[in-house]
Amino acid sequence: MQIAATPRAEIGVNRAGLFAFLAVLLLVNSELPLAAQDVAAEGLWRSGLNLFAVGLVFYVAGFAFITVARAADDEPVRPLDWLAAVVVSLLALVPLHWFAKSAFVPLAAYALATSPRESPVWRIGVVAATFVGGAFLLSAFAEPILALDATIVRAVTGSSGYGNVVDTDFVPGSNQITHVIILEACSSLKNLSQATILWASLTQMFRTPITRPIVLAGIAAGVAVVATNVVRIAAIVRFPQYYEWLHHGPGATLFGLASLVACGAILCAAILHASQPRRA
């Protein structure tokens, strides 16, 4: 009786594995400086809560990168891929938030340009591309976007103000804040950017075709996170005595979690519905 020899597995890196590693490296290095600043400013416990709420989107994105790579075939790494990997790695290792963030641009562009549509590397590129879209829009059009945020809050609360400033329900003689200035960190576009990352991560991880219902689900998820952010800022305007609780404390964490739960529920429902076999 002959026993067939088991072929020895070769140790190596495929294209999807390389690009997933680079994407996770950029993800960690782009958020690490901000996490360190948050710990220094807010303390370990409070910053930990903030990172848990806000970081959930990035955990899902990281998991998506790894899941897509694990399900990929063994397409070998091309010589030019190594050059791209060196450039991206050098940008990632610079201990500045914007350098690591900007490295998503060449990573996504190269992955999308050199890979067939719907291939694992192409899907990794799609998710990577969402990390720079919102940040670019916020930096390029910060003033009108923040003014629009403030206009929506003023309309909801009936408050006065100008530009990105909203007057609060100030009680004379108290130590309450008299107005709220909406900055980039509190912008609805930042929340919308996170919703876009979550949308891309879930659709590419589950290989969901980008159909009209999936696009509409993404828009609905974006509306949900923007509405949650507007409600939080409106609450600060109406109840300025709870500013610290709503802006930095547990209230901010709860609103962050509520935003992500609403966004995730909408997207997961749409993806599950899309995966159901259609009846004849």
The position carrying tokens 């009786």 is 1
3-state helix, strand, coil in the chain (%, to 5): 75, 5, 25
Q: Which residues contact 143 (CB under 8 A, 6 or more apart)?
A: 163, 164
Q: Are 16 and 124 in contact (CB under 8 A)?
A: yes
At residue 23's C-alpha, the angle toward residues 103 and 28, to 5°, is: 85
Tens of each residue's pLDDT in the chain, 280 residues: 333 333 333 445 899 999 999 999 998 887 766 655 665 556 655 656 666 666 788 889 999 999 999 988 888 999 999 999 999 998 888 766 677 778 899 999 999 999 999 999 999 999 999 988 766 776 777 788 888 889 999 999 988 898 889 988 765 556 666 888 898 878 887 888 889 999 999 999 999 999 999 999 999 999 999 999 999 999 999 888 888 888 877 888 888 889 989 999 999 999 999 988 766 5
**Structure confidence by residue, pLDDT tens digits, 199-232:** 999 999 999 999 999 999 999 999 999 999 999 9
